[in-house]
Amino acid sequence: MVKVKETLLDKINSPADLKKLSTEELPEVCKELREFIIDAVSTNPGHFGASLGVVELTVALHYVYNTPYDLLVWDVGHQAYGHKILTGRREAFDTNRKFNGLSGFPKRDESEYDAFGVGHSSTSISAALGMAIASGLKEEKDRNVVAIIGDGAMTGGMAFEALNNAGATKANLLVILNDNNMAIDPNSGVIGQYLLNISKSQTYNKVKKEVWEGLGKLDGFGEKTRKFIQKNQHALKNILLKENNLFEAFDFRYFGPIDGHDVKYLAKALQDLKKISGPKLLHVVTKKGKGFLQAEKNQTKFHAPGLFNKETGEIYTSGCQVDNAHKFQNVFGETLVELAEKNKKIVGITPAMPSGCSMNLMIAKMPDRAFDVGIAEQHAVTFAAGLATQGMVPFCNIYSTFMQRAYDQVIHDVAIQSLPVIFCLDRGGLVGEDGPTHHGVFDIAYMRTVPNMIVCAPMDEPDLRNLMYTAQLGELKQPISIRYPRGCGNVPDWRRPFEKIEIGKGRQLSEGTDLAILTIGKSGIFAQDAIKMLADENISAAHFDLRFVKPLDEDLLRSVFKKYRKILTVEDGVIKGGFGSAVLEFMAENGFSSQVKILGVPDRFIEHGALKELYKVCGIDKEGIVSAARDLVEN
Ligand SMILES: Cc1ncc(C[n+]2csc(CCOP(=O)(O)OP(=O)(O)O)c2C)c(N)n1
Ligand SMILES: CC(=O)[C@@H](O)[C@H](O)COP(=O)(O)O
Ligand SMILES: [Mg+2]
């Protein structure tokens, strides 16, 4: 047997092992860690470019800081693979994002090194500030707290709310701005350009360089220098010109920009910054996808590429189960362009997910009428509201899970004023490997409680197109929420002529005598399969696709409750307060008393895993529907 030489990475089972290495060995650790990530993600898909970009930063952080006592808070967390691998999860990393395996994001109950659970953007500075303030109150003077936030996440309002708060404190907080000048798509808005400007500005950097040189340079940063800096903090701030630096204006000490791929320099800089108390920000410049050429060149595709060939960089696209079918997001994107070509009032809005939701198609064709507003869901909603007040027809596309951020804006800025904003909630329902932070399972429940809101979910692609068509006709005097799932539909010829759908009208899709199955959205597809399986057991089920959760098709429901004693409702959303609850409310309010069973997402957070597995866990796949229907009929 050939004995494979033990690598440095093999020796690192925890950051304590990393600390035993000399700084000279760190570049080799980075090389090995990068190779490990490339190997792992090419065969077990996940987020890719972001983790490659922070390899050096990750190694330097764990080398310098006393983790887990010192607290690292990763923003979003899609870049934390290196962190996981260095903190005892290398062996388990092949289970990343798999059912019962490691989570794709930092998670407090997975590891003591994961200081804060993440997945949604722009939370890190707030959480880290809370930790730093707590440490202060507990008099843990030796504890460091570090937030690592990307330039994309820095476009989120929460990040600025946190800076505003933190700058006014003496909290011992380091914010590391990982600036790769990229979000998933190119970073939108002025912040990206601002960061580029301060990285490139010769005048600004010359002044700063001279200051640093005058102080004895960062890498020569000895005790004397430290004392000098502390004594001359005010002068230093003024020399660095508050008004020329956004972060200084927030009363943060700003350091950088520095090369985020020079691990030895990073380690020295972090070591030095440990000695400086108070809120401070280190601006680190990195390249997303660093070390994998194709990922460097095509950063959007390699954000989360799926399976790929690590030798050639070829991405293996999986395609849809039904031949020639398309993803729902494409149906949305193409339909939006088609409608916008005819209706000049249509405007598109996406908070930083143009490729994810396919709004990129409209942005490419009609850049004046389609907006990527940055990671700013709250703003996206109120921006749409403003547009609607002026007679525009805003299609505001937000992933269901990220819309949770903008609930107040939905109520306060849109619904109270009954503005006809068209919300398209992509990734409605369970999403799979991203897990509980990303499952879009709450929207039916949170939207249906809002007065004036129309809530609907297409079962298939033609339905999505027709709902979009109906929404933009100018007849609605209120907002509408159209939710549809991640992934593919099953109707290849979905490009059919538009048909207007009557608001609040459902449809019967099949006849049956033993029970009625009421579905909303894509669950209808599973129900159709289940009904065929039930027929083999001589159970005859009727199928009703309600399409609208609000207003409910009361005429249809009345006829259902009159005819059926057994009723099963199915939804890819939370049971509590969802579609089934709406049906129960209808039953109670109208004096009906059939036996109703609700299938949906139970009242707990559903972990990550393949969609198939998660549907099974929740009992909303065809087998789950068959089993529930059988129980209902037999009992
Ligand atoms: C609230 C919210 N909106 C949108 C997203 C989707 N999202 C995940 S990562 C990302 C881009 C983040 O860019 P950046 O912070 O610069 O990190 P990078 O990927 O460049 O390392 C976006 C938009 C999210 N996770 N949370
Ligand atoms: C980390 C994050 O929030 C996004 O990258 C998200 O994982 C994208 O999800 P989709 O793959 O469904 O677009
Ligand atoms: Mg970035």
Inform me whether the pLDDT recorded for 211 exceeds 60. no
Per CATH, 9-293 and 328-483 having the same topology is answered yes
Statement: 507-634 belongs to CATH 3.40.50.920:
yes
> And the tokens for 176?
């590391």
Inform me whether the pLDDT recorded for 216 exceeds 50. no
CATH code, 328-483: 3.40.50.970
Instruction: Answer yes or no: is the C-beta of 151 below 6 A from any ligand 1 atom.
Output: yes
Nearest alpha carbon, ligand 1 atom 16: 152
CA distance linking residue 194 with residue 199, whole number of Å? 9
Confidence of residue 480 (pLDDT cuts 50, 70, 90): very high
Determine the angle formed by the axes of helices 328-342 and 461-471, rounding to 10 degrees.
30
Angle formed at CA 458 by CA 452 and CA 460, multiple of 5 degrees:
170
3-state SS, residue 569: strand
Which among 101-115, 211-225, 237-251 has the top mean pLDDT?
Answer: 101-115
Inform me whether the pLDDT recorded for 192 exceeds 90. no
Residues 64/267, Cβ–Cβ less than 8 Å:
yes
- Return the number of other C-beta atoms located less than 10 Å from residue 32's C-beta: 17
pLDDT at 317: 86
User: How much is the average pLDDT of 199-204?
Assistant: 66
Instruction: Give me the residue label for tokens 């109707």.
Output: 491
Instruction: Indicate which residue of 97, 98, 405, 566 is catalytic.
Output: 405
Beginning with the edge strand found earlier in the chain, give each strand of the sheet holding 515-519 in spatial order: 507-510, 541-545, 515-519, 566-574, 595-601
Domain residue ranges in the chain: 9-293, 328-483, 507-634
The phi and psi torsions of 461 (rounded to 5 degrees) equal -65, -45
pLDDT at 197: 84
When the pLDDT of each residue in the chain is averaged and rounded to a whole number, the result is 94
pLDDT more than 70, % of the chain: 93
Q: What is the pLDDT of residues 138-158, one digit of tens each?
A: 999 999 999 999 999 999 999
Inform me whether the pLDDT recorded for 226 exceeds 70. no
What are the Cα distances from residue 227, in Å, to 51, 390, 625? 36, 59, 70
What's the CATH class of domain 9-293?
alpha beta
Inform me whether the pLDDT recorded for 214 exceeds 60. no
pLDDT at 228: 73
Inform me whether the pLDDT recorded for 209 exceeds 60. no
Q: What is the pLDDT of residues 32-68, one digit of tens each?
A: 999 999 999 999 999 999 999 999 999 999 999 999 9
* Contacts (Cβ under 8 Å, ≥6 apart) of 537: 626, 630
3-state SS, residue 173: strand
User: How much is the average pLDDT of 294-323?
Assistant: 95
Q: Which of 76, 396, 434 to mutate to test the pocket of ligand 1 (most atoms within 8 A of CB)?
A: 76
Inform me whether the pLDDT recorded for 564 exceeds 70. yes
Annotated ligand binding at 180? The verdict is yes
Residues 608/97, Cβ–Cβ less than 8 Å:
yes
Q: What is the pLDDT of residues 576-620, one digit of tens each?
A: 999 999 999 999 999 999 999 999 999 999 999 999 999 999 999
User: How much is the average pLDDT of 521-525?
Assistant: 98
Inform me whether the pLDDT recorded for 203 exceeds 70. no
Atom of ligand 1 nearest to the CA of 149: 15
Instruction: Answer yes or no: is the C-beta of 299 below 6 A from any ligand 1 atom.
Output: no
Residues 67/15, Cβ–Cβ less than 8 Å:
yes
Confidence of residue 242 (pLDDT cuts 50, 70, 90): low
Residues 495/464, Cβ–Cβ less than 8 Å:
no
What are the Cα distances from residue 152, in Å, to 298, 378, 407? 17, 16, 22
Which ipTM value was assigned to this complex? 0.99
pLDDT more than 90, % of the chain: 89
Inform me whether the pLDDT recorded for 220 exceeds 60. no
pLDDT at 205: 58
Residues with CB under 6 A from ligand 2: 47, 76, 78, 184, 304, 356, 427, 431, 434, 486
The phi and psi torsions of 10 (rounded to 5 degrees) equal -60, -30
Instruction: Answer yes or no: is the C-beta of 120 below 6 A from any ligand 1 atom.
Output: yes
Who has greater pLDDT, 459 or 220?
459
Q: How far is CA 509 from the centre of its chain?
A: 35
